[in-house]
Amino acid sequence: MILEETPPRSRSLWRSPDFLKFWTGQTVSELGSHITRYGLPLLAVINLAASPFQMGLLTALGSAPALLISLFAGVWVDRIHRRPILIAADLGRALLLATIPLAALGGWLSMAQVYIVVALTGAITIFFSAAYHAYLPSLVERDHIIEGNAKLALSSSATEVIGPGLTGFLVQTITAPIAILFDALSFLFSAASLAIIRKPEPPPAPVEKRQSMLIEAREGLGAVIQQPILRALAGALSTSSFFGSFFGVLYGLYAIRILHMTPTALGVTIGFGGIGSLVGAVLAGRAVRRLGLGPTLIGCLWLEVIFGLLIPLAAAVPSLAVLMLSIAQLSDALGTIYFINAMSLRQSITPDRLLGRVNASIDLLAAVIGLVGALVGGLLGSVIGIQATLFIAVLGQILSGLWLFFSPIRKLKEI
């Protein structure tokens, strides 16, 4: 059942010691991860003089694990308790990242080592992500799922605002390799925070009921395809990932080459995205209470199209380009409201024994289709031009909302 009577609302999550431990650890870890996200490319360029091809390979190695192991990570996450996976993943990533400053201090840091670290941390992160989204529903009550996701998204958005500036400061003052050490330490902090959580998890499926990994992976994918709401959510995310990848490939080129923006100006516009995300995290629950779940989800996707049109239209008025792109980035508020509520809906309707596999299946579909979108976006940008391709990218997002409009989600008032 999706709509059913729920018990009286329990106390706020701010008064839940176990959630606060989880939230604090993840906030610190998110900040550290932003340092690596922005600092590692700087390390490759500044310390190792990486070529454009090497930078492309670095990006590909970070994405490849999602395509190779997502489904099987989901199976494994559903077979055992999730919290030990989260702790082990944090410790593993801390150890891997710590090798970078150690190698730099020893004078033997190389691109080969960076490739290995990025690939292995990417693979571990797949397991962490699958366990992370499956763990929250066992940590908070059902009527607090949206609140929990909103609080986690709020801290993530805050670190998104702080992260780029902090990374630049650290790289400039203590060098990029030493800055990466902060992320390693943040993972240790996260692991310690998880270790002291006291609330027990529901038991996983008994060993005697397990099937082969392939059959269990197929069961998770089958649940996504057969369940109308999960199918619509997966379709919307995959469609958004396809057209959104156009931006991932072309946005920087468009801003620098067509709008002639400086890197600083481009950074300012991106910073408004973090501010928008903060606003969205605050408004996520209120929007649903006022408008209903289905209208909120569909409205967010379609309103993003209106804001998104400002990006390709900025080429017509270059003097207002920074302003127009900054306003467009503020629409990240809508994306955050959508993500929080869509993830909460996914978590609330999926049986606990399938959460890892369902999350991994949806993420895999989005990753594969997003990769195709990146290739298509690059090709279209070369053939019909960057601005025209960005118009297609924005208008294509209308299709994402159609997945939800023609599904039971449209009529949902609440989770």
One-character DSSP codes across 106-156: HT---HHHHHHHHHHHHHHHHHHHHHHHHHHHHHS-GGGHHHHHHHHHHHH
Task: Say whether both 166 and 40 belong to one domain.
Answer: yes
Work out how many domains the chain is built from and give that number: 2
On whether residue 66 sits in a domain, the answer given is yes
Q: Out of 174-178, 205-209, 297-301, pick the least confident.
A: 205-209
Q: What is the structure's pLDDT at 91?
A: 98
Mean pLDDT throughout 385-412? 94
Domain contains 20: yes
Could you read off the pLDDT of 189-214 as tens digits, one per residue?
999 999 999 999 888 767 656 677 77
Collect all residues with Cβ–Cβ distance below 8 Å to 289 and sequence separation of at least 6. Answer: 414
Q: What is the pLDDT of residues 65-116, one digit of tens each?
A: 777 788 788 888 888 899 999 999 999 999 999 999 999 999 999 999 999 9
> 44 and 174 share a domain?
yes
Q: Flag whether 212 is in a domain.
A: no
Query: Do 64 and 190 sit in the same domain of this protein?
Result: yes
This prediction has a pTM of: 0.77
- What integer pLDDT is reported at residue 2 of this predicted model? 39
Predicted pLDDT at 4:
40
Residue 57 has a pLDDT of: 76
Distance CA 357, CA 346 (A): 12
Residues 168 and 260 in one domain: no
Contact between 86 and 194 under an 8 Å Cβ cutoff? The reply is yes
More confident site: 12 or 128? 128
Residue 211 domain flag: no
Q: What pLDDT is attached to residue 205?
A: 66
Query: Considering 168, 202, 236, which residue would you say is the last residue of a domain?
Result: 202
Confidence check: pLDDT of 322 > 80 = yes
Domain containing residue 297: 219-411
Q: Does residue 316 have a pLDDT over 50?
A: yes
**Interatomic CA distance for residues 189 and 39, integer angstroms:** 20
Q: Does residue 111 belong to any structural domain of this protein?
A: yes
- 117: domain CATH number is 1.20.1250.20
52 — phi, psi (to 5°)? Answer: -55, -40
DSSP letter for 309, please: T
Please say which residue of 202, 227, 250 terminates a domain: 202
Instruction: For residues 195 and 277, state if they share a domain.
Output: no
